[in-house]
Structure 1
């Protein structure tokens, strides 16, 4: 049965007016738990390798290889999902990823050569199930195929706001979970928990009924509509791969790379700052303070007026993030540091929501999951690279040098926002419609 919903009552279908009604009551809790292993991955690997080998260098290098693997292979997994469906891609990667996490645990305690540890780290990142971007892609498909056309712009904006907020919460909560499990049960506990969560939660997410929704056709797709599970229909239409590397897509990837650099550099710099005071375990608390502000402003995006366009939003809040980073770098007290983290967080939340919304609008035909995965991979790559580089700076030149790295990262975000301002002029009408949250 075709679910176009343009004339639902004429087909005997009751229109679904909200996203929760369309996906069912279990979807959002399941999607939240299923993305937690992804947020635990980099920090968990770092904790395990350092504890088992007593080598900060090997630990940082291994976590960097995890990020590199995710960045290289994440978009390929997204492309696989676009072509063959999310269920197959998620189930296969969940099985492989769970096994590799166990292999790494055995490898570090058996004192295998460092090259083997690095190779396993890369494989862990390469096989990571891409739950966050696939959730966005799946929800975008639900909105465009199962909701009445009049409600789609508002539903898409609110859903991207929610998804960005959840990512903020998970990226803050993930390191906290890793630290708590490692403290209570040993350094291997976070990786073992991530392995179990991947097998159970990601497997359940893959099998959820929402996974049968076909990818939504883009504005230039020449298909009759999107079909539900089991329905016969035309083969999926996909834009050429080269469209993924257009300036309008790559500028979004650059923005997310900058945000990932900011996450990684802030967490590592805060570890150096609190370590100087003899309380390194408090770094997560300070980091969480930034995440709270980011989550709150991400939710506030839904009340922004339509005339506050997406490209203007990103530029404004990128400047806010940069201002907060400068305050962090120049803070002379913990109070000033907290103020800077709060200001930076206020800028990050809306930037995340805006870039995801732009990614949804700019995805080439049939490539939504690929674009969303490119964005998610850019964050994890930036986080891994910045963690390693900031740690090296802290060891070599001291905490003050490490505290300056978030300024550079925020500058990358602001530069991408400025480039997007110029690239976004032509389709401003389309983006204005996407930002019409008060329609």
Structure 2
């Protein structure tokens, strides 16, 4: 079988009118994901010399985004993506530039935390918005391929972003790396907001109909989000520990390369996962992928040089896309269309909350134990993700069922979907 025929499902995705444009615009809008976190670490550490402070500021940015992004998503489900994205990314640009100015000009440190938090709060989860567009346009059989493709898009972001911000920050100036991410995100988000033809339909609120509960009322959403909290802690810890380890080894510019290779492993796995059909239910696949993620990350404990870090990072990265795609697919199969953007965003909120915890804990671990020993933080967080997934298996199996959808005329229909 030729590579062309193996990956033909990805080619067929772009037969959907406008799909190439909304996917690429979404990629640009997501490019700041690794740039802002890593850029904040490089910027603040350069100004203070403290990884603890740098990790705390980066964690604040991620925490604010994780708390507010579900509200942006809820607004997109009800008011449309275009208007909400324009408002959000305008604030994103303003507060991002203000944060850099505060650090560079030596403003009080408390203002750094405030402005970093406001920048994060103005960053809606674009990946969920793009996945909602795919879900609106495709049938159930094709969505796994689309979700896998978007996971690959995420990983391309993490392949390109870390080397870009590291080179800009180390070879030019630390503020340049962070500012580049803010500007690219603003341009991508604004472009996506203008692609109105591919937006999913708006689910307006009727005053005569009881208000829809938050997507957090769905057991599957909560269980996957909790596991993703631990997965996100791995990502947040890796940003800080890898930068610290590369600096300790005397090659700070290689931090971006090591993180890019970590993401490259996920990219490869995501491409493969999108075209194969594993046996078992969606829930069983998700749990298996979470356990694989937990086991693969234990290789980080063997890191003893930059060469071994790159090799181990690639292998550990192979487990990232499968656990993310399987979890997103499981959630998508068990929520109503009118709450899909919000549900996917709550899942990603678990990731970003975990990034906050991972950044803060790993920053303190680096200062206390040294960079090499601090690899225990992402390894432990990955192990916890596997344990939590297995522990929630019983509830996942009992949570499947038909999805109640509330149309705009107020009547209720039951939309039956394949559930794992």
Q: CA separation of 1:75/1:359 partners in 2, compared to 1, >3 Å: closer, same or farther?
A: same
8 A contact 1:97–1:127 mirrored in 2: yes
Q: Residue 202 of structure 1 is aligned with which of 189, 196, 200?
A: 189
Q: What residue in structure 2 maps to residue 188 of structure 1?
A: 175
Spell out the pairing of 1:24-423 with structure 2 (5 A cutoff): 24-143=19-138, 152-214=139-201, 240-305=212-277, 307-331=279-303, 337-364=309-336, 366-423=338-395
Counterpart-to-counterpart distance in 2, 1:389 and 1:311: 30
CA distance in 2, matches of 1:418, 1:36: 32
Q: Does the CA-based 8 Å contact 1:130-1:373 persist in structure 2?
A: yes
RMSD of aligned alpha carbons: 2.9
Q: Deviations over 1:372-394 (max 9, x none)?
A: 21222322232232122112112
Q: Write out per-residue CA displacement over residues 117-164 of structure 1, whole angstroms, 9 at most, x where no aligned residue.
A: 211111111111321111111221222xxxxxxxx1221110000011
Question: Do 1:86 and 1:211's aligned partners in 2 also have CA atoms closer than 8 Å?
Answer: no
Larger Rg: 1
Query: Equivalents in 1 of 2:256, 2:233: separation in Å?
Result: 17
Gaps in structure 1 of 5+ consecutive residues = 1-16, 144-151, 218-232
Change (3 A) 1:54 1:293: closer
Deviation at 1:168, TM superposition (A): 1.7
Relative to structure 1, the CA distance from residue 399 to residue 198 in structure 2 (aligned partners, 3 Å threshold; closer, same or farther) is closer
For the residue of structure 1 that corresponds to 2:76, the secondary structure is helix
Would the aligned equivalents of 2:231 and 2:351 in 1 still touch at CA under 8 Å?
A: yes
**CA separation of 1:238/1:406 partners in 2, compared to 1, >3 Å: closer, same or farther?**
farther
Task: Give CA deviations for 1:68-103 in whole Å, capped at 9, x if unaligned.
Answer: 111111111111111111111100011111011111
Q: Against the structure 1 CA distance between its residues 25 and 342, is the aligned structure 2 distance closer, same or farther, given a 3 Å change threshold?
A: closer
- Distance change in 2, residues 1:163/1:84 (3 Å): same
Deviates more, 1:184-193 or 1:333-342: 333-342
Native 8 Å contact 1:62 1:121 kept in 2? yes
Structure-1 separation of matches of 2:265 and 2:163: 17
How many residues are treated as equivalent by the alignment?
396
Question: Structure 1 residues 238 and 322, CA, compared in 2 at 3 Å: closer, same or farther?
Answer: farther
Contact 2:29 2:186 in 1 (8 A): no
Q: What is the rounded CA distance, in whole Å, between the counterparts of 2:211 and 2:281 in structure 1?
A: 27
